[in-house]
Structure 1
Amino acid sequence: MNRRTFRRAVLSLGIATTTLVAAVATPAYARPDHLAPTPAVASPVFAITDGVARQVAVTDRSELSRLGVAAASGPVDLLAAGVDARLAGDLRAANQRLLVAKGLPGGTGSLLRLRLAHPDMRAALARGEAPLVAATPPDDSAASVHAYDRSGATVVLDAARVPQRPVLVVDVDTERALTAGLALMRQELGARGIDRAAPARPTTRASGVSASAGYWATKVNAVRLSDDEEPWIKGDAEIYNLVAGFGLDGKVKVDLVQMPYLDHDGTTYYPNQLLVHFSSYKYNLADVVMMEDDGDTNYSSLVKAIAGALLVIVDGGAYTPLVNAILDAIPTSWYTDDPDFVDAWYTLSTASSGRKHGAGANGWMDVAPYWVEQF
């Protein structure tokens, strides 16, 4: 999935409009208007994967051919690829640096993978054409892709046009990284006193002549993200949501909800997924911030930034939207690629129904109230 082009200047306008029409009290947290985009910073993850790409490109010809054949069938775990001892040692060292760059525990496992850039390249590989090797670039708006040939020389490719020559891509196993990252974030948020909004308070609802115990939730019937142009080298991203509201104790609660099926822009998905659980909320409102991991996310830094912003918000007796606080906690420089902000939905309630467009106009969700019955 490609890099969202949504920037803070646009976000401020979209969010301000959404906040004005929301039937809630004026937020006690005001989004600063003076923030300006900062220059792009070098990506530590890209520096690692780019170095690995060059090492793979100059490896033994037969070994590179074997890796290409394997990658044509699906992503290859580079640490389990059975390469020669010297390259294997370099890959293990690179993977350890990658775990540090992403703020993940050492026991997370291998994050380095190799994949074929585009299915149309399989025929060229089958004909025996020597592949180029590249790393996933950190900037979706770049006009070119830098790949390496057998000699280690740089070959510049058009980012908008799939090349005739096969390209193998070194990138991050974002599925594994996200699973480990969200586990870390849940642990760290809990340690800082920001709990999950797990079902905790049974209620009753009149249903004809009887009553049943349970709680209200918001169900996502369909979801779609904007159809943006993306470079051919980009792989699928991993989508997750920060669902935030005030708990019964008046403290902020955050749920981290994955959407593992949401692989592509311009495609409508029908997950029937529960997104917001209202059983533990003080108010009948919650906010959703949708994000994606394209590879660069440092989860340790992310959770510290978000926790630091949310812990200072005090329940003032009226619901305070939490989207601004979450987004302002993320350094502007991170918006160059990761953690990618996708969109935000303000003040979903137990009555929310129908199509809800995000504040940034980058996606929509069809939602409906859902009563979760207690056994």
Structure 2
Amino acid sequence: MSQSRLRRATVAFAALPLLALGAGQAVAAPAAPPAPATAAPASTARVSAIEDEVARSLAASLADPALRERLRSATAAAPGGAADLGPLAAAAQSPAARGLADTAAQADRRIAAAKGLGADLGPLLRVQLADPSMRAALDAGAAPLVATAVADDHARTVRAYDTAGRAHALDAATVPGRPVYLVDIDTAKTLAAGIAVLQREFAARGLDAAGPAAAPTGQAAQAAAGGWWGTKISSVEVSDDEEPWFKGAAEMFSLVSGFGQDGKVRVDSVAMPYLQYDGTVYYPNQILVNWSNYKYNLADVVLMEDDGDTNYLALAQAVAAVLLTIADQGAYIPLVNAVLAALPASWWTDDPDYVESWYTLARTSSGRLNGARGNGWMTVEPYWVSQL
């Protein structure tokens, strides 16, 4: 993810083990993950296949000069250069545009279902120019191709369509000289909806996943009278290989895991929508952990990503089923093997879904914490959240 390029990633998760060491002490390197599960979520390859269908339909529709001009103007004016495809097509008056609007609306619903999300999210598909350098040729009248922000980071070619429906194999390593539109999904919207699904499913199964900034209740409220201690992220950076030109925008989130006040395993999801580029230091001042929710003074943090095909509902159900088999035995119990075994095999092949993890995060942790993989770091500090 170079600063000039967007990365397409929503994030999913796992809970990793916590070593019983104090803040600032060295920790052992994480053990190799267990053999992954063979079953993948039902959505695997479905979202990318739907996007490919829409890309071909959009390319054919661009034979209409009026629609082509509308798309050129819309992507130039839209924040970040990404325009919602369905509304854009619905606002046009030509038969080609109306057909494209119907295709996009149906695809939006199919994508929501494939990702285990509700059907009321509204437009999900967006279209943007693959690289800003293509704008001059597009404005000069060059005929664009249409492709999708494909999932495989290591792809050697990218399939794109022209207005006649012909497929073209583009070099994944070189920005094309011809303008290329990318069809992608609104990952900010699906991330927010996905976190809501995770919270709902975890809570329904007894893994209370209220957000890290939620007000403490019961014993936690008594322990944190007048407020509660949190861990705040002052700055954070993720390092990764430079992203190819065909990737879209990134959305990431972390999961914080440990034992709750009731002695049951809990998982708290923390959205990090600002974390979009590697090699960039962000200063979010974001609360990562609400310690009043946890029984022990230690927690795990894992940052992961997926390339759009994650079914949040299926993933939450699979991981929750594993975590519910683990009982508090009076000390922190490593959770890594059980949780990683619940993840599908596709999460450990091709794409770097697992980004980084941080071990032995304590309430008193402060300063720079390097990730276990050497792929990122964050600086943290204790933070007292007082009641009004």
TM-score (norm 2): 0.83
Residue in 1 that maps onto 2:55 = 53
Amino acid of the structure 2 residue aligned with 1:64: R
CA distance in 2, matches of 1:38, 1:96: 24
Cα distance in 1, alignment partners of residues 261 and 301 from structure 2 = 19
> C-alpha deviations, 1:20-78, integer Å up to 9, x for none?
97799xxxxx9764459999x96111100011001111113311332133123321111
Q: Give the Cα separation in 2 of the matches to 1:230 and 1:339.
A: 12
RMSD in angstroms over aligned alpha carbons?
Answer: 2.9
- Residues 50 and 107 in structure 2, CA contact (< 8 A), matched pair in contact too: yes
What's the counterpart of residue 8 of structure 1? none
- Name the structure 2 match of 1:66: 70
Specify whether residues 38 and 313 from structure 1 end up closer, same or farther in structure 2 by C-alpha distance, changes over 3 A only: closer
Contact 1:202–1:374, Cα closer than 8 Å, also in 2: no
Matches for 1:145-224 after TM superposition, within 5 Å: 145-196=158-209, 198-200=214-216, 201-202=220-221, 213-224=226-237
CA shift in 2, pair 1:57/1:36, >3 Å: same
- 1:11-50 to structure 2, matched below 5 A, reads 19=19, 33-35=34-36, 43-50=45-52
**Deviation per CA, 1:91-139, whole angstroms, max 9, x where unpaired?**
2222221111111111121111111111111111110111110011110
Contact (CA 8 Å) 1:135, 1:170: kept in 2 or not?
A: yes
More strand by share: 1
Q: What letter matches 1:253 in structure 2?
A: R
Unaligned runs of 5+ in 1: 5-10, 25-29, 206-211
CA separation in 2, counterparts of 1:36 and 1:244? 21
Q: Contact between 1:287 and 1:321, CA under 8 Å: does it hold in 2?
A: no
Q: Deviation per CA, 1:173-230: give whole Å up to 9, x if none.
A: 101111111111111111111113633234689xxxxxx8322111111100014211
One-letter code aligned to 1:61: D
Question: C-alpha separation between the residues in 2 aligned to 1:177 and 1:36?
Answer: 25
Distance (Å, rounded) in 2 between the aligned partners of 1:51 and 1:231? 22
> TM-score with structure 1 length normalisation?
0.86
- The residue correspondences of 1:93-112 to structure 2 (distance < 5 A) are 93-112=106-125
Aligned residue number for residue 79 of structure 1: 86
Instruction: Judge conservation of contact 1:294–1:337 (CA < 8 Å) in 2.
Output: no
Task: Give the structure, 1 or 2, with the largest relative contact order (CA under 8 Å, sep 6 or more).
Answer: 2
**Mapping 1:1-375, distance limit 5 Å:** 1=1, 2=7, 19=19, 33-35=34-36, 43-59=45-61, 60-62=63-65, 63-73=67-77, 74-81=81-88, 82=90, 83=92, 84-196=97-209, 198-200=214-216, 201-202=220-221, 213-336=226-349, 340-375=353-388
Question: Do the aligned partners of residues 142 and 148 (structure 1) sit closer, same or farther apart at CA in structure 2, a change above 3 Å counting?
Answer: same
**Contact 1:218/1:276 (8 A) holds in 2:** yes
Task: Name 1:208's counterpart in structure 2.
Answer: none
Identity %: 53
Task: Give the whole-Å Cα distance in 1 for the aligned partners of 2:332 and 2:137.
Answer: 58
Could you tell me which runs of 5 or more consecutive residues in structure 2 were left unpaired when the two chains were aligned: 2-6, 26-30
